[in-house]
Each structure stands twice: as C-alpha cells, then as structure tokens.
Amino acid sequence: MTETAQPVVRDAGTRNAAVAWLRDWGLRVWGESPMEIAVLLLATAFLLFYGLVPILGGDQIGLMGADEPRYAQIAREMLEAHNETCNELHARMVPRSLRLTDIKNSLRCLDGGTVTPILYGHPWLEKPALYYWRAMSSFREFGVSDWAARLPSAYGAFLLIAMIFLHMRRFRPGGQLDAALITASSVAIIGFARGASTDMQMAAPLCIGMLGWYAWYETGLKFWLFDLYFFGAAATLAKGPIAPFLALCIILLFLGLRREWTALRRTIWIPGVLLYLAMVLPWYIAVQRENPTFVEQFFVEHNLERFATNLYQHHQPVWYYLAVGLVGLMPWTVIAIRALVAAMSASIAEWKVKLNPKCYLGLPRAGDAFPEFLVLWALFPIVFFTCSKSKLPGYILPSIPPLTILTGDYLNRIRRVGLPRWLLWSHAAACALVAFVIVLAPQHMVYDTLVPPARWLAVASAAALLVFFAVVQTIRLGGIAQVRNATLIPVLGALVFLLGFHGKDLDLNYSARPLAREMQQKAPEVRVVAVEGVKRDMVYGLSFYRNEQLIEYGVDGVPAEEHLLVVPAKDTPALEPLLAGRVYQQIIEYPARGLQVYKVYAKP
C-alpha cells in the first residue's frame, strides 16, 4: 500500500508546484487584476479594429487619399515579384533541407521582391521598406484588400498601447490603465491606426524605444536598452534617419538639462549598437546596390529637401502643429494641456534645483524625472517640425503618446483631490464638442456644406448637451476613477455612429472603392482606364482597386483601344475636341465626387 501511494503523493506535489508556478507567472504578467487586462484588451481592440476588419463591424471605408492606395499597391507589386521569384526557384523562405542548393535558393527567394519598393513596375524610393514588408505579410495571410493593407498600423498601435500599460504598471503603478486607454481613444491614434501608411510604423516603435530608454535610465539595467536599439531600428526601417535623430535629440536635451552627460556615454551599449546595425544596414546596403540613385532620392530629396523646401507642396502656417496637436488629443485635450502645464512647472523647478547641488542632500536625482522626460519628448517633435517647410499631420504623431501618458499619470496623481470644477466642465465641453462634430459629419460629407439643416443642428446640439451632462454627472458621482469611463463611452458611441451607421457615406465621398466597383459592374470587359483632370487620390485609388496603372490623357495621350474615361462632370464639354472622331457614351454618373465615366470605343 505504501509503495503504491508514494507516486501519488509525488504527483500531487508536482501538480501543486506547477499550479503555484502558473499562479506566480500569471501575477507577474497580468497583475493582481485580470479584469484590468480584460478591459484593456477589449476596449483597445474595439477602438482600433471596429469598422476596419470584416469580423468587427465590417471594412466600412476604402483606402483614402493618395498615400494609402499607393503604399498598398507597392506592397502588392512587391509580393507579386516575391512570389514569382520563389515559384521560379521552386523554393520557400525556409529551406526545404540543409543542402547548400536549397539554402541558396531560399536566400534568393527571401531577397526577391523584398528589397526595392516598386510601383507600376518602377522603383519607388520615397520610403524604406518596413510598411511594405508588413503589408505583404498581411496580404499573404488575408488576401489583397484595403483592410489588410491597414492591419500593420493597427497592430503597431495595439503593441504601443500594450507597452504603455506594461511600462506604467511597472514604473508608475496606478495610472497604467488610464494612460493606455487615453492613448487608444485619442483622435490621432484612432485615425493613424487605421491608415495604410508609414506614420504609425515609425511612431509606435520609436515611442516604445523611448519608454525602454527611460526604464534603463531609472533602473540602470542594460536589458531595457534592448528596447531602444531594437525598436529604434524598426522605426529607422519605417521612415529613415528621422527616427534615430528624434530619439537622440530628446535624450540629449533631457540629459543636458539634468547635467548627466555620463548617462549618454552609458547609453552607447555595444550589443545594442550591433543589433541596430544588423537590422538596418542589410536593407539600406541592398537597396543602394540595386538602385544607385537611392541615396540622392531618399536621403537628399525625401528627407533634407522635404524639410528645407516646399518641394512637395505641403506648406502650412507656423501654428499648424498646434492645431493638429489639439485636435489629435481630443477628447482629452483639456486634461492633457493641464497635465502638460503641471509637468512643465515641475520640470522647471527640477532644472532650478539641478543648478543648486545643495538641494540634493546626497540623492543621485532630485524628484521624479519622468514628467520632465515626457515633456521634452512631447515638445521636441512639434518644435522641430514647425521649422520644416513641408508639414503633414503624421510628422508629430510621436508627440501624442507622451502627452497621453502625462494625462494618465496626472489623473493618478490627483486621484485623492479630484478634478477641479473648471477642469471637469472644460473636459465635459470637449467631449460634447466631439459629439456635436461627429453627429454633423455625415451631413457635411453628403451635402458638402459647413451650415447643415436646422434639424440636424438641433439633433447635434441635443447630443452634445446629453454627453456634457452625462460626463459631468458620472465624474461627480464616481470621482477620478470614472473619468476614463465617462469619456470612453461617448468615444465608442461616436465610432459606432460614424463607421457603423455612416461608413458607406465616408466610403462614397472619400474612397475610390465604390466607383471602382461600379465600373467593374457596368463594363467588366474593359480593362484600360484613362483619366483627365481627376485628383491624385482618385487616380491612385482606382489604380489599386483595378490593379493597373491608369492612363492620363494630358501625359500619355488618348489610347487607341477601347477604354473607360473618368472626368470631372464640369469638364465634359472639353471631351468633344479631345475625342474627335471617336464614339463614346456616358455609363456612370458619380455625384459624390462630381465625376462621370465614359466608355470610349476603339479608334476606327
């Protein structure tokens, strides 16, 4: 009996040890409150993926602007070139065996179509390749589609929000959920997380790297420098030298104002430098070898000249990024400004103390340096790009996360005191303004007017008042702990209203997808498409959805074969001299964009 019972006792002890280990591991990863993790994951997933993927509200909006369809088309053509190379070699990226021939073929397969970005069969050297690689992977998994082209940005934003949560829980416990969900629910993050572009590809890893550097600064553990070098390399592969430049300048400012220059020397970690170079140099060297003009086109034209001149027609006034920042932080703008002011006041006091070493009383640092670091991180990109001759909203996306982290940290700091009355009412007004604008947005999209009908003004005003009083009352009753919930509910409702109920209006007015589908239905046998006087966003959009380069009458002339012609409705009188002697007929009226489509028969 005893001999047979002993294994049972040992097995029970083993199971208990395994359960204890799993419990400890779960506490380290998930923390004391699994509910907090569940709220983070569910809310972030809804904010980033609702109306984007078919299983969560449907892919409501097609690719918009000129950049989204252009970048998606580049990824598609690179994937086609990659597949063609691999098929020719009968190889996969993972070698079929350890034979030298299979390894060489796998390397050639990996290299094929992944080095030089191509658009319509020609090199396109405006941006590095990280977004294209990620979009290619997305296309391989889910097929070529507009929503698959946007997944890389959504994944990047999700990772950023998760890392903000984990970092805050590790170093500033108490404000982690607020900081993460404030980031996820800000207009800038919601918008750029849904873009098939390089902005989030650069901002997300850059911000994760900056958090990693500060974790090293506070703990001295070299492990955290891995984040700086690894994610800094990813950001460099997304947009180029601007990523390490921003990181270096922010760190220099921070250490310079704190007079801790030895930390800069210790930041240079040889394993990290080698990791950075191993990730970045292979692609930059390979693309230069394949395209001798890469250095001039990318570094000179698309970096230096883009900053120093208005070569690409993106001039904006000096206050432009102030407006972009205020809108990008909505609906948290008011609290974010208050948090920034409080952090700046603390930072200035910190710098004054730093000038008087007697105030340190033997401590290595005075006070909490984290707000000071976040202030410099938030302000430097805004100030730097304000000096640029070329301005686009995505340039200051790296400034949004430090401001939202400051906001979450500020709410945690004043949790016992509560929101001042003026701040509560101002924040509620900002939430109400978001509701007012969102309700009126479909009217502007459909009727293209800044003064909507009186009935819709009344509806928008009622919605704004309802949100205002709901936010005020919820926070009054629940205190600081309810600021997050009181703000998130209107944001979630706005997403459902705009994308769930009016996604088709957005699609119709801002994407080429509906027109491309209608053209396919009306003339499926015609493959050639030409345009005359059509805006760039429609040209690139139609090119992506039809997977072919469009012919421009003004550049390429009038094709002799049968084709479809897209023109602005106001320009139709000019068709007669352009198509003299040709038979053509209108087949589509597209009033949402003021366009008409004609079927032009082959030249006799």
Is 364's pLDDT higher than 60? Answer: no
Query: How many C-beta atoms lie closer than 10 Å to residue 158's C-beta?
Result: 19
Dump pLDDT digits (tens) for 210-261.
Answer: 999 999 999 989 999 999 999 999 999 999 999 999 999 999 999 998 888 8
Bridge partners for 586 per DSSP: 598
Q: Which of 12-16, 52-56, 161-165, 361-365 is most confident?
A: 161-165
83-90: average pLDDT: 85
The closest alpha carbon to 241, from 284, 274, 181, 178, belongs to: 284
419-446: average pLDDT: 90
What long-range pairs does 500-504 form, CB within 8 A, spacing at least 24?
500/50, 500/51, 500/57, 500/60, 502/441, 502/442, 502/445, 503/51, 503/57, 503/58, 503/60, 503/61, 504/60
- Distance CA(154)–CA(46), nearest Å, equals 11
Is 476's pLDDT higher than 70? Answer: yes
Higher pLDDT, 192 or 603: 192
What's the confidence (pLDDT) of residue 3? 42
Is 339's pLDDT higher than 60? Answer: yes
What's the confidence (pLDDT) of residue 6? 47
Lowest mean pLDDT among 1-5, 344-348, 475-479: 1-5
Is 365's pLDDT higher than 50? Answer: no
* pTM (predicted TM-score): 0.90
What's the confidence (pLDDT) of residue 258? 86
Dump pLDDT digits (tens) for 14-46.
Answer: 556 665 655 555 555 555 568 889 999 999 999
Query: How many C-beta atoms lie closer than 10 Å to residue 82's C-beta?
Result: 21
Query: How many C-beta atoms lie closer than 10 Å to residue 145's C-beta?
Result: 17
What's the confidence (pLDDT) of residue 566? 94
The closest alpha carbon to 222, from 177, 269, 182, 179, belongs to: 269
What's the confidence (pLDDT) of residue 146? 92
For the CA atoms of 362, 366, 367, 368, the dihedral, rounded to the nearest 10 degrees, stands at: -120
- Distance CA(434)–CA(602), nearest Å, equals 52
442-455: average pLDDT: 75
Lowest mean pLDDT among 49-63, 204-218, 421-435: 49-63
The closest alpha carbon to 333, from 194, 187, 461, belongs to: 187
- Distance CA(494)–CA(492), nearest Å, equals 5
Is 170's pLDDT higher than 80? Answer: yes
Per-residue confidence band for 447, with pLDDT thresholds at 50, 70 and 90: low
Is 2's pLDDT higher than 60? Answer: no
- Distance CA(505)–CA(513), nearest Å, equals 12
486-491: average pLDDT: 94
- Distance CA(520)–CA(512), nearest Å, equals 12
89-116: average pLDDT: 81
Is 173's pLDDT higher than 60? Answer: yes
What's the confidence (pLDDT) of residue 324? 95
Is 362's pLDDT higher than 50? Answer: no
